[in-house]
Amino acid sequence: MLDVRTLCSFADYFVVCTGDNKRHIEAIWQDIGGILKSKGVVPHHNEGTPDSGWMLTDFGSVIVHIFAPLERDYYQLDRLWDKAMPVVRIQ
């Protein structure tokens, strides 16, 4: 999770995570969406598919990126947003 508040105007935090395969990507996406929906938080926008290796859910101040390993390596959001303050990192 990256704190991007000082770096961009469209979000406060990015959650960037990796799913091992398309089923894993979809399961992560469904779990995040389900938990937040149960708390009354609904997404503004979704993009991507598990088959594409990338899914994005925009919750307004928090944007969740879920990547397959190859796509995460290709897009390198961690490097692109390297000035962001890491809030939590789980490996």
Full domain range(s) for residue 10: 2-81
Q: In this predicted model, what pLDDT tens digit does every residue of 18-33 receive, in sequence order?
A: 999 999 999 999 999 9
Q: In this predicted model, what pLDDT tens digit does every residue of 20-66 receive, in sequence order?
A: 999 999 999 999 999 999 999 999 999 999 999 999 999 999 999 99
Tokens standing for 47? 């993009």
Rg (alpha carbons) of the chain, rounded to whole number: 13
Cα–Cα distances in angstroms (integers) from residue 38 to residues 22, 58, 66, in the given order:
24, 17, 20
Using an 8 Å Cβ cutoff, are 16 and 2 in contact?
Answer: yes
CATH of the domain at 26: 3.30.460.10
Residue 89 lies inside a defined structural domain of this protein:
no
Residue 88 lies inside a defined structural domain of this protein:
no
Residue 90 lies inside a defined structural domain of this protein:
no
pTM above 0.85, yes or no: yes
Total number of domains constituting the chain: 1
Cα–Cα distances in angstroms (integers) from residue 1 to residues 17, 26, 60, 78, in the given order:
9, 19, 15, 10
